[in-house]
């Protein structure tokens, strides 16, 4: 019996993550031909923007889609980021769970170390073609071109070809090319176009160019030259740590004692707190972290979580900023009014996060039907799993009728010429799955989203009121003016007087009266 | 022949001048309009007339709720003045609506959208400038016919018309019977008999009742229009003829009598010019049933709505005399109504030969 179990265990280990994801690729957003190409573009663009931001370079991203057969497309994503060291290339693009962001609590688009490799994997599975990466780290360095495949069983990269690319024109940057089975849609809520358009709204300092297969070229210009503030990495806060991660941290830490582990690897744990907690769980301060048993670890983290600790530092986040968001929504949406709000940062399960919202109204926005909703997490548009998302839920829980908009039964998405945008920035966005499409509905997150939206909605309501009043006043003045002309004629006929002179008299008194009218109105407010 | 409209023209001009004056004094144009609603209508006990009270409402051009009405009022006034000055034939109140309806420049708003907008404003102008609609050269459709020893001159054509020579049809009451249009040239009648309905008037005319009894017979064919009432008043006032009224014996008949006599609530401002407070109610009244042995077959059971109407008119101030309250009570107790037409049960010429002469001779009437 024991030998069978052993055998099984061996086999279990042999099931590589790559193999597992081949079977579960829907979790990564590669479940349909239409969605897969969008996911691939998204992974490439996210990485490019992340890299540029980290290197403090104003991003310039070019996405090119070329038809390569029936239901087959070549996807090329190029950025002007810092480039990638040659020896890193294979692991980044052909090894799952390899990334720089997984262990770091820092606001970034990528967080799992799966994204781009999964895209390459999808390409490989549907066309058998390798992923081609060309990257250059500086003006005087050569551009390396590498063709890669992923060994699915081993989750290890396989280099097919490697060469220097003399035609790479950028001083630095990375170009990723993949061929895949796909379906291309040019416009609509889950199109690449829409994804890039929305990306440009929440990345006002980025320039995005899109060459679609028709072929048409779209340019989404930057609306600011100011780069977003650099987000800061923070240590995890005990409130948000799960046992598994805690145990892994115990094993991998470089800290020699449990006390220095607690004070050094976590936010807001000082030596007094650490000592007190260790005393409670009857552990010696100098215990070596890796020696803790599962039971000891569990007791320790649970006790630590019942301590009253300060919230983690909140200045680690980099919101878009109400002004920048307003400017880019204005540019992109040609609305009559745009109001935006950035909430103060808050914390869910020890993770700092911050909500921003914007409402655009009128102008070129379509007036029939429900409002357009734009969801964003760490400056990435979320296009799928709308109904599972905390943003959609929060919008639906607001009674928009109170703000002068129409809505069925006081629930759900409001109607009218409206775009509602919500952005969540966090060191770790709680997505509902690995495809990073919907934000989980933690009560504090829903509350913050609602507060942000309600504040925008109040501005909108005031605007609508003012506008209504202005229209009403104008309608009044127009009516008086129309009637004045008739009246002048009638009085002239009755008195055999001069019509022009009488019209002037009425006009004079109309001017006097409208002034009085407007004064009264101001007094009312 | 030219009709003299000068006094009405002057009144209309004055209305315009008042507004102009306000404008020149940098005041907001306003006109006072006497309220025509029920709460400004009262029964004048002394003159025995329904009258309009003195409550006025300001209509201001720079009040958005009144602005359009103000403008509309002036449009109607100026059109009336123009038509009078040109001595055009009178227009009906529907025609006035059409004549004024147009789209205001650079808008999709009309001066008037329905006749129900012009109608009340015409009545407003009547009270504002104290002139009758007929003096404004506007008409309601008259219905009445008249016959008898009266010669009138119609100044619109200059014809003299002898109402004793109108054959079986009688003379149709013209829409406008104002002094500037109709003159009484000659009259030998001793009184006027008002008959509610045409069918009975027709018998009186064909049997030459007016000739044999030396009187004028007139019907308004049910609820009378303005012209019949105005003409009746002029005949009564100017020719000093007593007026007797003969109606169905029911709440509606009694009410129509009161309209001839005291005027109506709706046209309270018009009573002074059309009511005949001296008019006497000849019948049919409850006592006639026995006095003239009316057969049972002439009776119609009073309906619920008849009874309700009876209760209503009983509360009108002008029915609050002792004898009228008794009559109304008797009628209610009687429980039947009797139509004038039913008198033929006693013979076609019964009313002509027997009923009316007897009643007048016996002074058997209600006041
Ligand atoms: N265009 C690029 N320029 C520079 N570095 C890159 C680029 N693309 C990827 N990288 C590096 O490769 C790592 C792995 O990327 P990958 O997309 O697989 O994972 P991730 O972005 O960390 O997380 P996620 O799975 O959430 O996308 C990134 O963390 C980043 O350090
Ligand atoms: Mg990524």
**From first to last of its 525 residues, what are the pLDDT tens digits of chain A?**
445 545 544 555 445 666 676 677 787 888 899 999 999 999 999 999 999 999 999 999 999 999 999 999 999 999 999 999 999 998 888 777 677 666 678 898 887 778 898 899 899 989 999 999 999 999 999 999 999 998 887 778 899 999 999 999 899 999 999 999 999 999 888 899 999 999 999 999 999 999 999 999 999 999 888 899 999 999 999 998 889 889 989 998 999 999 999 999 999 999 999 999 999 999 999 999 999 999 999 999 999 999 999 989 888 999 999 999 999 999 999 999 999 999 999 999 889 999 999 999 999 999 889 999 999 999 999 999 999 999 999 999 999 999 999 999 889 999 999 999 999 999 999 999 878 899 999 999 999 999 999 999 999 999 999 988 888 888 888 888 899 999 999 999 999 999 999 999 998 888 887 776 665 555 444
Burial of A386 per CB tally in 10 Å (0-12, 13-18, 19+): middle
- DSSP-assigned states of every residue in A411-456: -SSPBSSEEEEEEEEESS--BSSTT--SB---HHHHHHHHHHHHHH
Is the pLDDT score of B211 beyond 90? yes
Test B26 with A486 for CB contact under 8 angstroms: no
* CB A120 near ligand 1, within 6 Å: no
pLDDT digits (tens, 9 = 90+) for B314-356: 999 999 999 999 999 999 999 999 999 998 998 889 999 999 9
What does the alpha-carbon distance between residue B206 and residue B219 come to, in Å, rounded to a whole number? Answer: 14
User: A344, A358, A363: which is closest to A456 by C-alpha?
Assistant: A358
| CATH 1.10.10.10 placement within chain B | 6-139
Instruction: Decide: A173 and A80 in contact? Cβ < 8 Å.
Output: yes
Ligand 1: distance of its center to the CA of A205 in Å?
20
- For residue B284, is the peptide bond before it cis, meaning its omega torsion is within 30 degrees of 0? yes
Test B107 with A506 for CB contact under 8 angstroms: no
| CATH 3.40.1360.10 placement within chain B | 145-361
Instruction: Return the bridge partners of A69, or none.
Output: A72
Decide if A141 touches B, using CB distance below 8 A. no
Give Cα separations from B272 to A93, A493, A512, B124, B219 (angstroms). 105, 30, 42, 16, 21
Q: Which CATH number does A238-306 carry?
A: 1.10.8.50
Buried b (16+ CB within 10 A) or exposed e, A8-21: eeeeeeeebebeeb
Q: Mean pLDDT throughout B110-114?
A: 93
Of A41, A43, A50, the residue with max ligand 1 atoms within 8 A of its CB, to mutate for a pocket test, comes to: A50
DSSP A56: T
pLDDT digits (tens, 9 = 90+) for B175-201: 999 998 999 999 999 999 999 999 999
Assigned fold of B145-361: Dna Topoisomerase Vi A Subunit; Chain: A, domain 2 (3.40.1360)
Q: What is the pLDDT of residue A50?
A: 94
Indicate the residue of A482, A483, A509 with minimum beta-carbon distance to B28.
A509
- Arch. (CATH architecture) of A322-459: 2-Layer Sandwich (3.30)
Q: Give the three-class secondary structure for B197.
A: coil
* CB A318 near ligand 1, within 6 Å: no
Q: Mean pLDDT throughout B94-109?
A: 91
Give Cα separations from A246 to A111, A263, A307, B22 (angstroms). 18, 14, 17, 89
Share of residues in chain B with pLDDT > 90 (%): 77
Domain ranges, ordered by start, for chain A: 17-220, 238-306, 322-459, 463-524
Indicate the residue of A486, A510, A513 with minimum beta-carbon distance to B111.
A486
Ligand 2: distance of its center to the CA of B313 in Å?
92
Q: Which CATH number does A17-220 carry?
A: 3.30.565.10
Q: Which residue of A has its CA nearest to B76?
A: A490
Q: What is the pLDDT of residue A10?
A: 52
Give the closest residue (by CA) to ligand 1 atom 9: A47
- Determine which one of B42, B97, B98, B289 is catalytic: B98
Catalytic, B98? Answer yes
Q: How far is CA A46 from the centre of its chain?
A: 10
Instruction: Decide: B186 and B205 in contact? Cβ < 8 Å.
Output: no
Q: Which two tokens stand for residue A401?
A: 């009728």
Chosen CATH of B6-139 out of 3.30.43.10, 1.10.3720.10, 3.40.1390.10, 1.10.10.10: 1.10.10.10
Q: What is the pLDDT of residue A451?
A: 98
Q: What is the pLDDT of residue A122?
A: 92
What does the alpha-carbon distance between residue B181 and residue B153 come to, in Å, rounded to a whole number? Answer: 8
What does the alpha-carbon distance between residue A253 and residue A263 come to, in Å, rounded to a whole number? Answer: 12
């Amino acid at each position: 019996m024991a030998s069978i179990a052993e055998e099984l265990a061996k086999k279990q280990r042999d099931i590589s993550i790559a193999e597992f994801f081949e079977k579960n690729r829907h979790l990564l957003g590669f479940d349909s031909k239409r969605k897969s190409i969008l996911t691939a573009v998204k992974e490439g663009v996210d990485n490019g923007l992340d890299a540029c931001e980290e290197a403090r370079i104003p991003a310039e991203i070019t996405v090119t889609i070329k038809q390569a057969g029936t239901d087959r497309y070549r996807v090329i994503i190029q950025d002007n980021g810092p480039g990638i060291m040659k020896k890193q290339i294979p692991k980044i693009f052909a090894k799952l769970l390899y990334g720089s962001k997984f262990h770091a609590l820092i606001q970034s688009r990528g967080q799992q170390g799966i994204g781009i490799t999964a895209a390459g994997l999808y390409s490989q599975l549907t066309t058998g073609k390798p992923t081609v990466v060309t990257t250059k780290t500086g003006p005087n360095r050569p551009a390396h071109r590498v063709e890669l495949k992923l060994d699915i069983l081993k989750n290890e990269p396989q280099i097919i070809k490697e060469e220097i690319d003399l035609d790479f024109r950028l001083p630095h940057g990375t170009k990723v090319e993949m061929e895949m089975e796909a379906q291309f849609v040019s416009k609509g809520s889950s199109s690449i176009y829409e994804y890039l358009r929305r990306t440009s709204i929440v990345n006002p300092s980025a320039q995005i160019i899109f060459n679609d297969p028709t072929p048409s070229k779209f340019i989404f210009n930057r609306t600011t030259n100011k780069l977003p503030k650099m987000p800061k990495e923070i240590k995890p806060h005990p409130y948000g740590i799960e046992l598994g991660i805690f145990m892994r941290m115990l094993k991998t830490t470089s800290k020699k004692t449990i006390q220095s582990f607690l004070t050094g690897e976590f936010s807001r744990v000082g030596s007094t707190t650490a000592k007190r907690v260790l005393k409670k769980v009857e552990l010696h301060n100098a215990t070596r972290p890796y020696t803790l048993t599962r039971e000891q670890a569990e007791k320790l983290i649970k006790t630590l979580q019942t301590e009253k600790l300060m919230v983690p530092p909140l200045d680690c986040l980099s919101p878009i900023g109400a002004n920048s968001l307003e400017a880019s929504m204005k540019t992109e949406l040609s609305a009559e009014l745009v109001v935006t709000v950035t909430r103060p940062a808050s914390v869910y399960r020890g993770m700092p996060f911050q909500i921003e919202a914007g409402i655009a109204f009128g102008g070129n926005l379509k007036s029939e039907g429900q409002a357009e909703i734009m969801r964003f997490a760490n400056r990435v548009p979320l296009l799928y799993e709308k109904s599972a998302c905390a943003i959609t839920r929060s919008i639906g829980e607001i009674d928009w009728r109170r703000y002068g908009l129409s809505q069925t039964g006081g629930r759900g998405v409001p109607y009218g010429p409206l775009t509602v945008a919500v952005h969540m920035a966090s060191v770790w966005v709680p997505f509902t799955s690995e495809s990073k499409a919907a934000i989980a509905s933690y009560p504090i997150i829903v509350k913050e989203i609602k507060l942000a939206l309600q504040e925008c909605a109040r501005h909108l309501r005031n605007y609508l009121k003012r506008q209504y009043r202005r229209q009403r006043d104008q309608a009044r003045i127009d009516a008086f003016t129309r009637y004045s002309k008739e009246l002048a004629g009638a009085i002239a006929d009755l008195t055999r007087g001069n019509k022009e002179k009488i019209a002037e008299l009425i006009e004079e008194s109309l001017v006097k009266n409208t002034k009085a009218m407007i004064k009264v109105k101001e007094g009312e407010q | 022949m030219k009709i003299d409209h000068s006094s009405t023209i002057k009144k209309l001009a004055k209305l315009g001048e008042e507004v102009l004056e306000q404008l020149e004094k940098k005041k907001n144009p306003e006109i006072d309009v006497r309220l025509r609603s029920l709460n400004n209508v009262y029964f004048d006990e002394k003159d025995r007339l329904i009258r309009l009270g003195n409550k006025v409402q300001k209509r201001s051009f720079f009040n958005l709720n009144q602005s359009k009405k103000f403008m509309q009022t002036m449009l109607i006034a100026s059109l009336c003045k123009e038509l009078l000055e040109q001595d055009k034939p009178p227009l009906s109140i529907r025609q006035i609506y059409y004549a004024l309806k147009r789209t205001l420049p650079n808008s999709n708003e009309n001066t008037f959208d329905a006749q129900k907008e012009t109608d009340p404003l015409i009545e407003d102008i009547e009270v504002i400038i104290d002139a009758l609609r007929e003096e404004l050269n506007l008409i309601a459709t008259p219905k009445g016919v008249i016959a008898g020893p009266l010669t009138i001159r119609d100044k619109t054509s200059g014809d003299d018309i002898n109402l004793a020579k109108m054959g079986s049809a009688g003379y149709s009451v013209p829409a406008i019977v104002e002094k500037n249009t109709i003159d009484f040239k000659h009259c030998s009648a001793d009184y006027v008999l008002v008959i509610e309905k045409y069918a009975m008037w027709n018998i009186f005319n064909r049997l030459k009742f007016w000739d044999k009894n030396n009187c004028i017979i007139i019907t308004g064919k049910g609820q009378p229009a303005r012209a019949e009432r105005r003409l009746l008043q002029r005949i009564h006032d100017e020719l000093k003829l007593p007026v007797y009224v003969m109606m169905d014996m029911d709440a509606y008949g009694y009410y129509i009598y009161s309209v001839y006599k005291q005027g109506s609530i709706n046209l309270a401002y018009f009573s002074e010019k059309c009511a005949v407070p001296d008019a006497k109610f000849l019948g049919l009244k409850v006592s006639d049933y026995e006095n003239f042995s009316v057969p049972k077959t002439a009776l119609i059971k009073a309906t619920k709505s008849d009874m309700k109407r009876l209760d209503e008119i009983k509360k009108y101030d002008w029915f609050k005399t002792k004898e009228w309250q008794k009559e109304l009570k008797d009628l209610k107790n009687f429980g039947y109504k009797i139509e004038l037409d039913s008198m033929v049960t006693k013979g076609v010429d019964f009313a002509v030969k027997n009923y009316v002469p007897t009643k007048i001779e016996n002074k058997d009437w209600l006041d």
